[in-house]
Each structure stands twice: as C-alpha cells, then as structure tokens.
Amino acid sequence: MRKSTIFFLIVDLLVIFCFVLFYGPFENFRNVLINTAMVTKSHQYIAYTFYSEETVQKVLDLNKFIPVTGDINLDDIVIDTSEKDSYDNEYDEEILKRDKGNDDYKYIQVKVGKHNAHLVAIYNPEDVHLISSKKFNTGSGQETVLNMCKRLGGLVCINGGGFADPDGWGSDIPFGYVIKDGEVIWSPSKSKENIIGITDENKLLLVNATGDEAVAMGMRDGLQFGPFLIVNGESIKYQTSAGGYDRAARVAIAQRKDGVILFLVTEGTHGTGPTMKEVIDTLELYGAYNAANLDGGTSAQMVVNGKLVNNPKNVFGQSVAGGRRVVTGFGLIPGK
C-alpha cells in the first residue's frame, strides 16, 4: 500500500473519530468542552466553532439556578460551639466531637457525590480571617494558599475569590471587592455584587451590596464571589434536574446555626468533579445554615497544619504541584 494511501486513510479515520467524539452520543464530553470554553470570554470561540448557539445555550442552561430571595437573618446564628454530650445525628457528632487535644478545628474526609472531599469544622469563628497575597496588580502578586497560610500563621486555609484571567494564565488582579479588617482594600467598581464575609460578630454574612455597604453592615473580612448556596437554611434550586451539570473541583464556606464555620474543598477536574447540588446536599447534611460557593477548578486548595491536603489539577487533569497561585482566601488564624 502506498504511503500516500496510508496517510489519507489515517486522516479519514481521525476525521471520523473527531466527528463521533464531538457529535456522537458522548454528551459528557460535549458539556465539558462547552462549559470549560465558556468560563472565559477569550475561549468562548472554541464552543461556537463546533456547536450551534442553540446547543451552547442548552448546555449552559443546565447550570441555571433560582437564587434564594430575601435578606440573610444573622439573628438565627447563636454562637455556641462548645462540645456537647449528645448529638442530633451522626453528621452532627462528626462535627462537634473534638479530636483529642484540638479545640481549634476538626478535619474530616468526606464524599461529595462520588468524589473525595475535605471538610474542616472551625470552632472559633472569631479566628476566621481573609487571607491574601502581599500585593495586588503588580505583575507578581499571586501566591499559593500554602505560602499564604504559612506566612500568616494559619492552621487551616482555603482559596477564596477569583481573579482576572485575560489570557488563561491568571493574574494578581482580584475579581471584585476585597475587604480586610473592616476596610475595602480592592474596589474595581461601585456596583452591588455578591459579597461573602465574616462580620465583627463572627457570623458569615452573604449580601448583595457594594463594598462600602458591606462594611457598614459590619463585615470585617470578605470578598466577592458566589453564588450563595444556602441562605437562612434554604438552598438554591436548579432549573433542570441536572442540578448544575457543570462538574469541577469545588470550594465552599458555610456556617451552622451554632456558629461553627465549615470549609469544604472537593477533588476533581473540569468535567469530573461534583455538581453544585452535590455540594449543597453535603453541606446540609453537616448542618450548614448559610453557605456560599468560592472559586473552584484549578484554584481549589485546602491547607491543613502546613500541608496541602487536596490534589489541585489543571484543565488537562494534570496535578499542579503546590497548588495554583491565587490572590485571596479564608483562613483559621488564631490570635490574629
């Protein structure tokens, strides 16, 4: 057989393979490609190259949700994180039964859907603070959660808000408001946005407001991100049975009615992590009364006692040694 014949045969087989892959029965591949491409404006052309606007919109609609309406009622949070003699259920016991000699936090390995995940219960909400890289918008201001946590003396830290990503490599420009010690330290606009933070009364405040308005409401440390997952015990509802089909590594912060703060980070990659509904279901099992989504995907990181406990992966499923460099997060920093 001629070499040219073999070459064209291989080309034909590749074309057939690609056609079946993109347009065949592999809905998961299609959904992953579209959702990943649509995350940033600079890569949306990839989705429209292979699929119609109707198909792209159909996939995006799988992630549409009905937000919880009404203001958060922080009076429902009555802080009493003391150890109990009895528990409401097995999940309550997992949270409240201390590890011997550790009254600061408890680390629990859990499942979110079918995916491994890391849950930390923090008993002293007054010790939960914003963590951030040393500088913003300098060209070299990003920092891994591991480095931030060590530098700030944190026992447990997670990543938090997003950051500008004009070329797919990230940046040290925070996405939206950043509040630290009762001051807005980053404010790209004056519009009302979803802000997640801890108040002076050590309660998790989820509010749609400007940075200045959030501070006026008593927020001492916070950042812009979302969506809010649970407000006053009521969770968001997805408009399709898919429950947020877009799968990825997830990060969330929550608070129980007794004041215990929960940090949750899941394993996963773009397309293979848990859905948002699976995250909500898990947080509800462990008593979350208010909860919000934080930046996931490659940025997902949890540090416990000086060790990165999860395995961050990029869009290609490759491990990111030491974690991706980010700009903000939340940390358990005793005595700050």
Residue 2: pLDDT band (50, 70, 90) is low
Q: Tell me how far apart the alpha carbons of residues 249 and 303 are, in angstroms, rounded to a whole number.
A: 15
Tell whether the model's pLDDT for residue 24 goes beyond 70: no
Distances in Å between the Cα of 1 and the Cα atoms of 6, 14, 50 are: 7, 19, 34
What's the pLDDT score for residue 242? 41
| DSSP run (H or E) holding 9 | helix 3-23
What's the pLDDT score for residue 165? 80
> Percent of the chain having pLDDT more than 70?
82
φ, ψ of residue 252 in degrees (nearest 5): -145, 155
Long-range pairs, 47-56, Cβ under 8 A, ≥24: 50/22, 51/22, 55/30
Tell whether the model's pLDDT for residue 29 goes beyond 70: no
DSSP label at 44?
H
Q: Please, which residues have CB within 8 angstroms of residue 54's CB and are 6 or more apart in sequence? A: none
Query: Which regions of the chain does DSSP assign to beta strands (E)?
Result: 65-66, 105-112, 115-122, 128-132, 156-159, 178-180, 183-186, 193-199, 204-209, 219-224, 228-231, 234-235, 237-238, 251-256, 261-266, 288-294, 302-304, 307-308, 328-332
Q: Are strands 251-256 and 288-294 parallel, antiparallel or unpaired?
A: antiparallel
Domain extent listing, the chain: 3-61, 66-332
CB 179 within 8 A of CB 220: yes
pLDDT one-digit tens code per residue, 184-213 = 999 988 999 999 999 999 999 999 999 999
Greater pLDDT, 73 or 243: 73
Distances in Å between the Cα of 64 and the Cα atoms of 82, 193, 199, 230, 277 are: 39, 18, 29, 16, 12
Query: Which residue's structure tokens are 């996963």?
Result: 268
Q: Tell me how far apart the alpha carbons of residues 125 and 310 are, in angstroms, rounded to a whole number.
A: 23
Residue 223: pLDDT band (50, 70, 90) is very high
Q: Please, which residues have CB within 8 angstroms of residue 207's CB and are 6 or more apart in sequence? A: 71, 72, 194, 195, 213, 214, 217, 219
What's the pLDDT score for residue 189? 87
The pTM for the full model equals 0.84
What's the pLDDT score for residue 36? 61
CA 77 from centre of chain? 23
Helix (H, G, I), strand (E, B) or coil at 211: helix
Q: Tell me how far apart the alpha carbons of residues 217 and 262 are, in angstroms, rounded to a whole number.
A: 22
CB 276 within 8 A of CB 93: no
